[in-house]
Homo-oligomer: A and B are copies of this chain.
């Protein structure tokens, strides 16, 4: 074991861009920073990498601290490494996208961090380069949902076709044709229709569906490509 010469004295952090969907809008969970620097400003939830954990663990830990959730869909987005991005000390930060069901998180923890959900159209000024991270995160999500079945992570396991459509409309900031949308989704054969109907939202009630990972894998192996264009 030799030590490397010219070590770079740089800190490594992770920041989580936490997405949720509340039946109509795509939202991000932001915290009001309780410590210096920039105390009291809005920020992404973040933390420093510890020696005994790998990067993904660090991101999961940070997400868990704020939401109480584990086993969440997370994905490394990008590293931000500009020299002065953090004024206190040279820090590179790895941004992670997290997709959660907006109704599942632990409200007490969220209160503890003075966190709030913001619609993506109304993101406030954030500290450091966090607005840049958010922009990258939204672009990445838009791109990714168009050809991977990850949108379902933002919905309850049981969801209706109109809910799913509104989700895609919110992500793409567009509107889609109901007939073409359901035709497309059903044609891919990755959804299971349940007998049960959603009650209380509309008079008629909409049938619930579930995403079926097994069916998806089979379809993929048969050459299907999952595509939902904006």
Query: A residues bordering B, Cβ < 8 Å?
Result: 1-4, 6-12, 36-37, 48-56, 58, 76, 78-79, 81-83, 87-90, 92, 94
Copies of this subunit = 2
A56 touches B36 (CB 8 A): no
Min Cβ gap A148→B in Å is 11
30 A-B residue pairings within 8 Å (CB atoms): A1-B37, A1-B87, A1-B88, A2-B37, A3-B89, A4-B48, A4-B89, A6-B50, A7-B11, A7-B89, A8-B11, A8-B12, A8-B48, A8-B50, A8-B51, A10-B10, A10-B49, A10-B51, A12-B12, A12-B81, A49-B81, A49-B92, A51-B83, A52-B83, A53-B83, A54-B83, A55-B82, A76-B79, A79-B79, A92-B94
A196 to B10, alpha carbons, bound, how many Å? Answer: 52
User: Inside 8 A of A51's CB, which chain B residues have their CB?
Assistant: 8-10, 83, 90
Chain B: which residue is nearest A5 at the CB level? B48
A49 to B92, alpha carbons, bound, how many Å? Answer: 10
A12 touches B48 (CB 8 A): no
Kindly identify which residue among B2, B3, B9, B55 contacts A81, using a CB–CB cutoff of 8 Å. Answer: B55
- Top 6 nearest A-B pairs (CB, nearest first) are A55-B81, A8-B49, A8-B48, A54-B82, A10-B12, A2-B36
B52 touches A3 (CB 8 A): no
Asked whether A94 and B81 contact (CB < 8 A) given A1-B37, A1-B87, A2-B36, the answer is yes
User: Inside 8 A of A3's CB, which chain B residues have their CB?
Assistant: 88-89
Chain B: which residue is nearest A88 at the CB level? B1
